[in-house]
Amino acid sequence: MRITWLLEVADQLWGGVKVALENANWLQRHGHQVTVVSRSRAPAWMRLECAFQQVQDFHAEHLPDGDVIIGTFWTTVPWAASAGPGKGVPVHFCQGYEGDNQEQSALRERIEAAYRLPGVAHITIAPHLTRLLQERFGVKAHEVRYAIDHGVHFPGEARTPGSPLRIGLVGPAQVAWKGLETGYAACRLLQAAGQQFVLVRATNTEPTANELAAPFPIEWHRQVPPASMGNYYRSLDVLMVTSGPEEGFFLPAIEAMACGVPTVLTDVPCFRDHAAVAGNDRYALFVPPANAGETAQAVVIASSLPEVRTALRSAGLELAAHYHQDHHGEQFVAALAEIVAQRAQKALRAPMRLVGQPERPVTRSPDTDLEQLRQRLQAAAAKRAQDGDLGAAARALTAAHHLSPDDRELLHAAADANLTAGAPDQALQMWDRLVDQGVEAEALHTGRGHALHALGRMHDAAQAFRAALAVGDRSASAHNRLGVVLFQAGDVAGARAEFERALMLQPDHGDARANLAALPAA
């Protein structure tokens, strides 16, 4: 397969970026033609074995042709969805749901819109993410098991806890839901209790002022290359993990287990999911999120009781063995192959595609009686519309469609006529039939948006207009339409942003200017 990965940044060391690039390398080694496309430079912290392109943006003209185009972070998913058929089937590789992150709260509606884009297939890496996509967005995702590099993460000799105790804490303190402040609070409790220890901090960001002011010893490991992380873990007596329920997977937990390190984990879905793989929950000590007291107590138990250390090491090694790159890669390829095959089957069932102005189908047989009747019905519809009898025109086109049920152009025209005649419910049913057939077109999603708007379903109408923007030319009028329904749905801030986007594209757009002026003051 020809596979394109879209990464906002490839030169920054984040777990999700590392996994995407490791996948790209694995796919290239196993015979696929892989290209990583990013707004940033190539990573200096790992060697890429596939092609790499730095681009200013992800417009289609900057993307290679392919069979699959994969969006990773939510901002790349709309670009994958709108790249066009020659660029590949759009796939979202979900390693965590961004919409629940406190840092993304102002963008949650846009994130949700990206997850609801039609025509995008989804791959998740954990059961709790699969459930979330199904429950919130009605998405049936392909699930693949995550992976770690066992060439880097392997056990050393079983350690005898030292004095001072070496407590590992990994991650950026700047991300609130990582909960690192709880780890620091636990360390202050340990210090107050007389425990001798050093906090062994690994981070891909600069330490915060609060971290630097901590009253206990800290050993800093900054921007550690992935190939060196195994040595970091093997130097620890225990790994303390403080993530909140927003965590998608957190590779360091499994990486540390693979290195034979006992772990203390928060009791959140991503860490509990491992029980389904392990067949038990004995691979870690679990503590409630944001509970410094229980975290401190668990750290002492995991590091000082020999039978607990031995049990955690053994169960952790057994669990980590399930997360292997070859197994992950094989599942990933199988998911992509199934997604591409399903899209191809849809295309075979309905080969005509709406793109902008519908094209005339070439499969009609003009000699049949049914074809002549269909033509007469279409002519009658045109005459009725000219005479102002829109209802009769809609009925004639609907009847013509029933004579040619596989004619997408005719179905689209009948839906348009029903909407114009004041029957948005019938129009919506027709457009939904096209959506079910896998059709992607700006006109289709715009029509659905108008029908939903007429039915008073403002939130659904906004989503349809967003879908039109994702696959269309992002015109000022399209942003203005979205702004109108957002305002009517009660989202004044969202409406303001859309009217402003419309005016950026077309400063003389009268409707957008009037609508913006009519909004209440911020």
DSSP label of 43? P
Q: At what angle do helices 442-454 and 424-436 cross, to 10 degrees?
A: 150
365-387 pLDDT, tens digit per residue, is 444 666 777 778 878 878 777 76
Q: What is the pLDDT of residue 522?
A: 56
Q: Who contacts 189 (Cβ-Cβ below 8 Å, separation ≥6)?
A: 292, 293, 296
Q: What is the pLDDT of residue 358?
A: 44
Out of 3.40.50.880, 1.25.40.10, 2.60.40.10, 1.10.1510.10, select the CATH number for domain 369-518: 1.25.40.10
Q: What is the pLDDT of residue 237?
A: 95
Q: What is the pLDDT of residue 320?
A: 95
CB 159 within 8 A of CB 233: no
Q: What is the pLDDT of residue 368?
A: 60
Out of 1.25.40.10, 3.30.70.260, 3.40.50.2000, 3.40.190.10, select the CATH number for domain 2-143: 3.40.50.2000
Q: What is the pLDDT of residue 244?
A: 92
CA–CA dist 163, 285 (Å, integer): 22
CA 306 to chain centre: 42
DSSP label of 86? G
Report which of 374, 385, 380, 384 is spatially closest to residue 411, judged by C-alpha positions: 374
- The hierarchical CATH code for the domain 165-320 is 3.40.50.2000
The residues spanned by each domain of the chain are 2-143, 165-320, 369-518
CATH topology agreement for domains 2-143 and 165-320: yes
Q: What is the pLDDT of residue 122?
A: 96
Write down the number of H helices and E strands in the chain.
Answer: 22, 13
278-287 pLDDT, tens digit per residue, is 899 999 999 9
Secondary structure element (H or E) that encloses residue 94, with its range:
strand 89-94
Q: Where are the alpha helices (DSSP H) in 249-358?
A: 251-258, 269-272, 274-278, 292-304, 306-320, 325-349
User: In terms of C-beta distances under 8 Å and separation of at least 24 residues, what long-range contacts does 208-214 make, across chains too?
Assistant: 208/173, 208/174, 210/173, 210/181, 210/184, 211/173, 211/180, 211/184, 214/184, 214/187, 214/188
Q: What is the pLDDT of residue 363?
A: 47
Q: What is the pLDDT of residue 470?
A: 82
Secondary structure element (H or E) that encloses residue 124, with its range:
strand 121-124
CA–CA dist 4, 58 (Å, integer): 11
Instruction: Give the chain's residues under pLDDT 50.
Output: 348-367
CB 244 within 8 A of CB 210: no
